Structure 1
Amino acid sequence: MTRKRNVPKWAWAAGIVVILAVVGVGMALTMHRAGPAATGTTGVAHGDHTHETEAELWTCSMHPFIVLDEPGDCPVCGMALIPKAVEAPALAQDKERVVAYWRAPMNPAEIYDAPGKSAMGMDLVPVYEDELVGGVEIRIDPVVEQNMGVRIQAAERARLARSVHTWGHVTWDETRTYDISPRFSGWIQTLHANFEGQNVKKGDPLFTVYSPELIAAQEEYLHARQRLGGPGSGYNERLLASAKRKLLNYAMAPSEIRRAEKRGRALDTVTITSPYNGVVVDKRAVEGRYFGAGTTLFTVSDLSRVWVEAHVYEYEVARVRAGQQASMVLPFSPGESRTGKVAFVYPFMEGKTRDITVRMEFDNDDAFLKPDMYANVTIETGTGDSGVVIPSEAVLRSGSKETVFVRTGKGRYTPREVLTGVTLDDGRLHVLQGVAPGDQVVVSGQFLLDSESQLKEAVAKMMEAVNPPAPEARSMDSKEDDFLEDM
C-alpha cells in the first residue's frame, strides 16, 4: 500500500506566497511595457501644479519625427535614441483669451490697437489671438534664438506709398515750340542766327531780308503819314493806322518802322527779329536764298520747361492720373533727382511695346536737361490713405496661405494667417487682416520657426494617433437608460 505523506501547513503557506509574488512581478512588467496607453493615465493635477506620471519618450536627434516609448536605435539612420524633452503644460491663466487688435465691424481692414470708435462711429470689435493662430505656438531658448538670427520689426500704421517705376526720355515742350515763317516773300541778305542750338531772345535779329512786298508796304505807310495834316484828316488817320498795322503783321519790328520814318523813305533791307525766347532747333535759312510766303525758316523751342515721356505698361496705367507727383534721375547723375508732375496720359497704346506713353513736365531753368536724354522715372500713385504695413520678407507664402510669426513673449512665437493688400515702396506690404500696429513680427529666421511649428504640429498629431485619449466614462444613469432602451 502506498503510504500517504503529510505536508506541514507552513509549507503550503510558503508556496502560496511564492506563487502570488511571481504573478505580481509578471503583471508589473506587463504594465511597464504597455506604458500610459494601457493605463489611460498621463498625469494627476493638483491645484495649479501637474505631477508627471507619463512614460519617458525617446527620439532621434537627426530625425525628430521619430518618437518611441522605449530606448533603442533610430529606424532611419541607426543612431541611438535620446530622451525627448517634454514642455511643461501652460498655466491656467495662459488659456485666457487675449485680444490681438480691434477692428471696425463694417470694414475688417480698419484696424486699431485699442478699443474705441470706427470711422463710421460704431464700436470696435475685438479680434482674439486664438482666432488668428495659423499653427502651433513654439518656445525657443534665447541662445537658440540668437543662433537662428531671428530679427523682429514692429508693424506700424503708415501712409500707403505706392509708386510706378519706369523709364522715359526728355523731349521738347510742344506748347513752347515755334516756327518762324514770314508772311511775305523775299531774299535773305544776312543771317544773324547762323547755326542750330543757338540761344535767341525775344527781339534778337535773325536775318536781314530784301522784299519788294515790304518796300511797297513801307511806301504806303510813309505816303499816308505825309497826308496826315491835309484835308480829310480823319480818313488819313484811318489809312495811316491800316498801313502801320500791315507792317506789323509782316513782322516788321517797331524799331525798323521808326528808322523808315526818320529816313523819310522805304528801307531796302529789313531786319527780322525773333518773337520768342528759346533755342534754334531747326534752321533752313541760308544767305542769298529766296523764300516764299509761309516758308518755315527757323524753329525755336523754349527749353526752360521740358517734357519727359515715360512708358508705362498696361497693367499699371490704371493707377496713373494727371496731376500726380513724379520724379526722375538721370543715369549719369544718380544722386540728383528732379521733381515734376504728370500732365497727360495718352489715350492709345503702342502696339509693338504694349505700353502707354505718360507725359510729364519738368522745369529746366538751368538748361541741364537736354532733349533725348534717358531718365529713370518714378510716379507716385498712392492715394494718401494710411494702413498697417509690415516688411514683405516677414510673410511666408504657401499656395493661397499667407503666414507671419508674431512674438508674443520672451522666446514665444505664434504663427498667424494674414490677408495682405498691395505691395508698397521700400519692400513693404499693406496688411488688411491679422496684424495690428505694434505687433512684433519676425523678418529674419521665420523659415526655421515655421519648420519647428510644422514639426511640432505633425508630432502632436502623430502622438494623438498613437495614444488616443481615453473615452469619457459614461454615467450610471446613461448606462441604465441604454439598458432600458435595449430591453
Structure 2
Amino acid sequence: MKCLLESPARAVFAFFLLVTATASCGRDGADPVRVEGGGLVVEARLDPVVPRTGENLLELLVLDAGGRPVPDAHVEVKVIMPAMGAMAQMGGPARVRPLGEGRYEATFGLDMDGSYRIDVSVHAASSSLSAEGSLMTGRSGFSLTARRAPPPRSSSHAPTGEGAADAAAHDPHGGHAGHTRAPEEAPAPTDAGGGFAGEVFVDPGRRQRTGIRIAPVRLEPFEVTIRAVGLVEYDRGAIQDIAPRVGGTVGSVRVPAPGNPVRAGDLLFTLYSPELLAAQREYLTALGSGRSDAVATAARGRLRLWGMSGADIDHVAQTGVPLEYVPFRSPVSGVVIEKNVVDGSGTSANERLFRIAAVDRVWIEAELYEADLALVRPGDAAEIALVYLPGERFEGTVSLVNPFLDGETRTARARIELANRDGILLPGMYATVWLRRDLGRRIVVPASAVLYAGDRRFVFVDAGEGRLRPRAITTGHRDGERLEVLSGLDAGEAIVVSGNYLIASESRLGTALEQW
C-alpha cells in the first residue's frame, strides 16, 4: 500500500510548494521561493504569508539535483533584525524540525515590527547550499537568493557621497534604510519631570507624525488556536487479520493484490485441510447417528471456530458431502492492505494470509509541541484540511493524546478520528490540523504592542501628559493578533500599540531594563 500512496503524497506536497525561479521583496508573497546551488534545490514558503510579530513558520522542501527529496539534510535557519540605534540585535536561530520526505519546518519569532534578514544553510552529503534574503512584517512575501562569493574590489571603488547614500538606501539586508526618519520627527527623550528610567515624552503632534497609536488594554473572550501537522492513517481498531486456525494447502486465491476493495462475505481463498475435512466427517456422523444434539452442536462449533461460515456448514449438512476445499470469506468490508498467499501455498495454523482495513473511518496522527499539550484534551473538536483539496474542511474528534513525548522531535501525538466520506482520505496523506481551546475572558493586548528583550516582554504605558513609560509584563497564549497578559497590566490601562519600536530606540531602555 505504501508504494501506492507515496508518489501521490510527494506530488501533492511538491504542488503545495510550487515556486518561481526567482523572488524579490516586491513580488506577490503568495508565491513560494526557489533557490538552487551546490547541487541542491530548496523550495520555501512562509506561513502566514504576511509575516507578523510572534511565531512564524518557514516551510522548506530540500531536493537534490535530480529532483529527489533529501530527508537527512542538516538545515539551519536564522532570522535576525540588525542592531538599530540603541536597540540591540534581535532574533537568532530558528527551531528546525524534519517532517520526512525532504520537508523541514523552521519556527521563528519576530520580536517587533520591521525588516529582518534571513540566512538559510543546507548541508547534505557532499552538497551544500547557502542562501540569504529578507522579510518585513506586515508585507506579503520574502526574498531568498543563493549566496555567492562577492567579487573582489578595491577601496577606490567604494561609493562615496551621493553614491554611498544610494547604496545604503538600496541595501537588501540592512532593512531600515527605507524607514529612516528625519531627526525632527523622531520622539525625543526627556526627563519627564519624574525622571523614570526609559520614560519618553512625545507631544500629540509628534505622535501623529510618527504613527504612534494608543489603545486601552481589554478584558475579552479569548480562544487559542493550535496548528499541527498530521498524517492520515487507518483506524487500527478496525483492522482485521485473516489467519486460519488450521494448516493446509491453499487452493485458489480470489484477491489479486493489496489495494483491492472487498465486502463482508466476499470469497478470499479456499483451503484444503485434513483437520477441517475430518471435522466435517465427524459432524456428518453425529447428525446421522441419531446421537444427542449436544454432540452435533459441539462438532458444528468446532467447524465455526476453525473458520467455516454458517452457510457452508449448512451446505455440508444438506448434501451430506464434506468440502475438500473450504471457502474462507472476508468478515468485514474494507481494503486489502496485506496479502501473503498465492495459489498452492502451504500454510501453517494461525499464519496471517490477509490483512483487511476498514476505510469508512480513519485516524489522523497530529504532532503537538510540549507547550500545546495542556490545551488539548480527548473529546476536543478538530478541523482538518488537505493540500490537494483546497477549500475542503473535515471535522474530527480527538480520541487520545499520548502521555509521552518522542525523544527526538520532543512532540506528542494526538489521535483524531473522523468519518472518511467517499474514501477520499487516503492513509499516508499529510494534513493540517487546527485545534481550538476557549480560555474564557482574559486580559489581552494587540501583539504589535509587545516588545521583546531577551526572555522579557514589555509595553509602553501612557502615563498621561505625553509621557510613555516602559513596563515589564508576562504574556501567555496567542489568539491571532492578540496576546494574553498574565501579569503587569490591568484592563483599561492605555498602552502604545503602534510605533512602539521607535519609542524604544529613543528611550533609555537599557538602563530601565537593568532596574526592573
Q: 1:352 aligns with which of 401, 405, 408?
A: 408
Could you tell me how far 1:194 is from its partner in structure 2? 1.9
Rounded Cα–Cα distance in structure 1 between residues aligned with 2:407 and 2:486:
37
List, as ranges, runs of 4+ consecutive aligned residues in structure 1 with deviation greater than 6 Å.
451-455
Alignment deviations for residues 371-401 of structure 1 (CA, whole Å, 9 cap, x no partner) = 1222233343x46332121211112345646
CA contact (8 A) 2:473 2:489 kept: no
Instruction: Please tell me whether residue 216 in structure 1 is matched to residue 291 in structure 2.
Output: no
Could you tell me how far 1:289 is from its partner in structure 2? 1.4
Instruction: Please tell me whether residue 188 in structure 1 is matched to residue 244 in structure 2.
Output: no
Rounded Cα–Cα distance in structure 2 between residues aligned with 1:348 and 1:398:
33
Could you tell me how far 1:253 is from its partner in structure 2? 1.3
Is there any run of 5+ residues in structure 2 with no aligned partner, and where? 1-183, 185-193
Could you tell me how far 1:361 is from its partner in structure 2? 2.5
Could you tell me how far 1:283 is from its partner in structure 2? 0.6
Deviates more, 1:219-228 or 1:385-394: 219-228
Q: Residues 364 and 438 of structure 1: is their aligned pair in 2 closer, same or farther, counting only changes over 3 Å? A: farther
Query: Which residue of structure 2 aligns with residue 303 of structure 1?
Result: 359
CA contact (8 A) 2:460 2:495 kept: yes
Could you tell me how far 1:245 is from its partner in structure 2? 0.9
Greater fraction helix: 1
Could you tell me how far 1:337 is from its partner in structure 2? 3.2
CA contact (8 A) 1:420 1:431 kept: yes
Q: 2:342 aligns with which of 277, 280, 286?
A: 286
Query: Which residue of structure 1 aligns with residue 450 of structure 2?
Result: 395
Corresponding letter in the other structure for 1:165? R
Query: Which residue of structure 2 aligns with residue 363 of structure 1?
Result: 419
How high is the TM-score relative to the length of structure 2? Answer: 0.54
Instruction: Please tell me whether residue 204 in structure 1 is matched to residue 266 in structure 2.
Output: yes
Query: Which residue of structure 2 aligns with residue 237 of structure 1?
Result: 293
Instruction: Please tell me whether residue 417 in structure 1 is matched to residue 481 in structure 2.
Output: no
Instruction: Please tell me whether residue 427 in structure 1 is matched to residue 491 in structure 2.
Output: no
Paired residue secondary structure (2:316): helix
Query: Which residue of structure 2 aligns with residue 372 of structure 1?
Result: 428
Rounded Cα–Cα distance in structure 2 between residues aligned with 1:149 and 1:334:
38
CA contact (8 A) 1:185 1:211 kept: yes
Query: Which residue of structure 2 aligns with residue 461 of structure 1?
Result: none
Rounded Cα–Cα distance in structure 2 between residues aligned with 1:134 and 1:306:
57
Rounded Cα–Cα distance in structure 2 between residues aligned with 1:347 and 1:401:
32
Q: Give the 5 Å matches for 1:127-138.
A: 135=199, 138=202
Query: Which residue of structure 2 aligns with residue 332 of structure 1?
Result: 388
Q: Residues 224 and 153 of structure 1: is their aligned pair in 2 closer, same or farther, counting only changes over 3 Å? A: farther
Could you tell me how far 1:220 is from its partner in structure 2? 1.7
Instruction: Please tell me whether residue 263 in structure 1 is matched to residue 325 in structure 2.
Output: no
Could you tell me how far 1:255 is from its partner in structure 2? 1.5
CA contact (8 A) 2:229 2:366 kept: yes
Greater fraction strand: 2
CA contact (8 A) 1:187 1:291 kept: yes
Query: Which residue of structure 2 aligns with residue 447 of structure 1?
Result: 501
Rounded Cα–Cα distance in structure 2 between residues aligned with 1:433 and 1:349:
30
Over the matched positions of the two proteins, sequence identity in percent amounts to 34
CA contact (8 A) 1:207 1:271 kept: yes
Alignment deviations for residues 390-439 of structure 1 (CA, whole Å, 9 cap, x no partner) = 21111234564612355979xx6754636232131203211245555566
Rounded Cα–Cα distance in structure 1 between residues aligned with 2:310 and 2:452:
76
Q: How many residues align?
A: 319
Rounded Cα–Cα distance in structure 2 between residues aligned with 1:448 and 1:352:
41
Q: Residues 294 and 365 of structure 1: is their aligned pair in 2 closer, same or farther, counting only changes over 3 Å? A: same
Rounded Cα–Cα distance in structure 1 between residues aligned with 2:331 and 2:227:
39
Corresponding letter in the other structure for 1:203? G
Could you tell me how far 1:244 is from its partner in structure 2? 1.2
Query: Which residue of structure 2 aligns with residue 125 of structure 1?
Result: none
Corresponding letter in the other structure for 2:320? G
Paired residue secondary structure (1:366): helix
Rounded Cα–Cα distance in structure 2 between residues aligned with 1:427 and 1:134:
26
Rounded Cα–Cα distance in structure 1 between residues aligned with 2:489 and 2:409:
40
Rounded Cα–Cα distance in structure 1 between residues aligned with 2:311 and 2:460:
78
Q: 1:178 aligns with which of 237, 240, 243?
A: 240
Corresponding letter in the other structure for 1:344? L
Q: Give the 5 Å matches for 1:50-65.
A: none
Corresponding letter in the other structure for 1:249? L
Is there any run of 5+ residues in structure 1 with no aligned partner, and where? 1-81, 83-129, 229-234, 459-487
Q: Residues 151 and 331 of structure 1: is their aligned pair in 2 closer, same or farther, counting only changes over 3 Å? A: farther
CA contact (8 A) 1:418 1:432 kept: no
Q: Residues 401 and 375 of structure 1: is their aligned pair in 2 closer, same or farther, counting only changes over 3 Å? A: closer
Higher relative contact order (CA 8 A, sep 6+): 1
Rounded Cα–Cα distance in structure 1 between residues aligned with 2:424 and 2:220:
36
CA contact (8 A) 2:207 2:213 kept: no
CA contact (8 A) 1:407 1:439 kept: no
Rounded Cα–Cα distance in structure 2 between residues aligned with 1:134 and 1:433:
20
Q: 2:222 aligns with which of 146, 154, 160?
A: 160
Alignment deviations for residues 5-64 of structure 1 (CA, whole Å, 9 cap, x no partner) = xxxxxxxxxxxxxxxxxxxxxxxxxxxxxxxxxxxxxxxxxxxxxxxxxxxxxxxxxxxx
Instruction: Please tell me whether residue 140 in structure 1 is matched to residue 194 in structure 2.
Output: no
Q: Residues 281 and 263 of structure 1: is their aligned pair in 2 closer, same or farther, counting only changes over 3 Å? A: same
CA contact (8 A) 1:406 1:413 kept: yes
Query: Which residue of structure 2 aligns with residue 276 of structure 1?
Result: 332
Alignment deviations for residues 275-329 of structure 1 (CA, whole Å, 9 cap, x no partner) = 1222110011211212122111100111222222233344544554444443333
Q: Residues 436 and 366 of structure 1: is their aligned pair in 2 closer, same or farther, counting only changes over 3 Å? A: farther
Q: Residues 395 and 322 of structure 1: is their aligned pair in 2 closer, same or farther, counting only changes over 3 Å? A: same
Instruction: Please tell me whether residue 226 in structure 1 is matched to residue 226 in structure 2.
Output: no
Q: 1:252 aligns with which of 305, 308, 318?
A: 308
* RMSD (CA atoms): 3.6
Larger Rg belongs to: 1
Paired residue secondary structure (2:270): strand
